[in-house]
Amino acid sequence: MKTQGYLLVLIGLFSFGVSGQVLVFQQQEPQINLENWIDMGFRHWKNPQHRKGFFKYDSLYLLSYRDSLGATISATPIFNLWAGTEQGNGGLKYQNSRGLLVTAGHKGFSCYAMIMENQAFLPDYQTQFIKSHGEFYPGTNAYNQQNGMVPGGGRTKPFKNNGLDYAFSQGGLKWGLSKQITVFGGNGNLRIGEGLRSLFWSNHNQALLLGTAVNITPHLLYIFTKGRLFDLIRKPKYANVESPYYKKGYSMNALVYSLKNLRVGVVYQTIWEGGDSLRERSLSPWFWSPIAGFDRFAKNRVSLPQWGLVGHYKPISNIVFYGEAFFRGVQKTSMSYQAGVNYASNLKGLFAFNVNLAFVRVGSCFYGDNYSLSFTTNNLPLGSLIGNGTQEILLSTKLTYRRLYLDVLMQYYTSYPSKNVLFRPTYTAEEEVIHTMGEFGFLVNPITQCTLFALCDFRQGSSSLQTLIFSLGIKTAIFPNRHVY
């Protein structure tokens, strides 16, 4: 009966749409969009022509309504269902993720909400990474680590023997108050910065944010953001069923100057103390300043700032060079940078090709030198998932022909001695890792990015067993196969 229910949902995905423009959410797109420095994932999708048969559902969500004033609301199932085998590790590996995505919008206002339920038996390297970033619970004489944290997902609980069971919800909004001012917020996987993932904020983060973007001039954009972060450290004293987590404040300011082919900016962000592992207290009043620099008045209640330059340059229409360079305070050992290039083919016809190459270096104390004021949330670094003290090469390519595609991600990284940012040193990056994922698939439905796919995942680490897993499945756009750790 359960399987029949899933089949009915999948059939319904292409059966009950209503024509017209639809506000869609595709934040986790397979290839990054380098045009937008800050991207919440909202897209306005319009069917350009009447299509017949199966293809008439290419631009329709499961349910979609548009009123006479132009307001829209839509809903669609989201899922990631796959199964496979891991060489040298007996037993079936699979992921069973399903949920609902709702979008709504009117004129300059857009919002979305989604809820997900997941059960999975993942490859060993993923399971080990997830469990090494789990919650710290207070015991009689010490803290113990339990469960795990799925990047971009949620906290886990045990499922059967070595499986993971987790659920999470996300939401976000963007509201253009005027041509000059836009407000955005939510707890979704917001993408900020340059490249496949930025050094200072990557889209695996789930943190409650509220920000404002102000167009000072047609070329000059000012952004300030406030947020609440949590690391998974339970407080021993509490009044409710479960104690609250260790709370921190997050503040980011950016000034970005853009021309037709050039974009440069400066970023300044800080972490603010909201108590300790025993008790919670209010953030410093200086936290609420929309202007960078007032953190210096908070003294020991705020971290050293991460500050740096970002930018990209487009010499011709299909090539973008981008980079970031950062410090934490004035510490030389915190120096971090990223340099990359993205090429998108402008071939006419049915073929399309995209390649992205980046080199990333993270300083030994860039995300902090202890847990109390570290640049982390949910026990994960805000930027590179591997954390302090790593050097990484990322190569991402995608080739498409009609509805067929081949998506390849290759990663090579090394690590060197660095500062630990977890409450207890439960995770240490391997000294050297080679990692390649190749995905071949068929695009069933463009608006939901629903694909049938076959995946090969190979990983060889200096201190872990070799991973080779083959899997088959079906998924929507919320679930890219990009486990870069």
Per-residue model confidence as pLDDT tens digits over 430-472 = 999 999 999 999 999 888 889 999 999 999 999 888 899 999 9
Both structure tokens of 40 = 């919440």
Residue type, 249: G
Per-residue model confidence as pLDDT tens digits over 101-138 = 999 999 889 999 999 999 999 999 999 999 999 999 88
What is the structure's pLDDT at 191?
82
Cα atoms in the Cβ-side hemisphere of radius 13 Å centred on 174 = 15
What is the structure's pLDDT at 206?
86
What is the structure's pLDDT at 66?
85
Are the CB atoms for 170 and 114 separated by under 8 Å?
A: yes
What is the structure's pLDDT at 51?
57
Calpha distance 156→150 (Å, rounded) = 7
Alpha-carbon dihedral of residues 280, 172, 477, 103, nearest 10 degrees?
140
Are the CB atoms for 435 and 411 separated by under 8 Å?
A: yes
CA 105 to centroid of chain Cα atoms: 23
Q: What 3 state SS string does the chain have?
A: CHHHHHHHHHHHHCCCCCCCCEEEECCCCCCCCCCCCEECCEEEECCCCCCCHHHHHCCCCCEEEECCCCCEEEEEEEEEEEEEEECCEEEEEEEEEEEEEEEEEECCEEEEEEEEEEEEECCHHHHHHHHCCCEEEECCCCEEEECCECCCCCEEEEECCCEEEEEEEEEEEEEECCCCEEEEEECCCCEECCCCCCCCCCCCCCCEEEEEEEEEECCEEEEEEEEEEEECECCCCCCCCCCCCEEEEEEEEEEEEECCCEEEEEEEEEEEECECCCCECCCCHHHHCCCCCHHHHHHHHECCCEEEEEEEEEEECCEEEEEEEEEECCCHHHCEEEEEEEEECCCCCCEEEEEEEEEEEECCCCCCCCCCCCCEECCEECCCCCCCCEEEEEEEEEEEECCEEEEEEEEEEEECCCCCCCCCCCCCCCCEEEEEEEEEEEEEECCCCEEEEEEEEEEEECCCCCEEEEEEEEECCCCCCCCCC
CA distances from residue 17 to 13, 53, 77 in whole angstroms, order as listed: 8, 13, 12
Classify burial at 253, counting beta carbons within 10 Å of its beta carbon; exposed 0-12, middle 13-18, buried 19 or more.
Answer: buried
What is the structure's pLDDT at 39?
83
Domains and their CATH numbers in the chain: 2-475 (2.40.160)
Calpha distance 386→199 (Å, rounded) = 11
User: CA nearest 192: which of 123, 267, 134, 258?
Assistant: 267
Cα atoms in the Cβ-side hemisphere of radius 13 Å centred on 1 = 0
Calpha distance 225→236 (Å, rounded) = 31
Both structure tokens of 89 = 């590790």
What is the structure's pLDDT at 54?
56
Calpha distance 17→75 (Å, rounded) = 10
Both structure tokens of 87 = 């060489």
What is the structure's pLDDT at 445?
85
User: CA nearest 448: which of 5, 3, 15?
Assistant: 15
Cα atoms in the Cβ-side hemisphere of radius 13 Å centred on 311 = 15
Are the CB atoms for 389 and 431 separated by under 8 Å?
A: no
The stretches in the chain having pLDDT less than 70 are 1-21, 27-35, 46-60, 237-243, 346, 348
Residue appearing with tokens 């705020």: 302
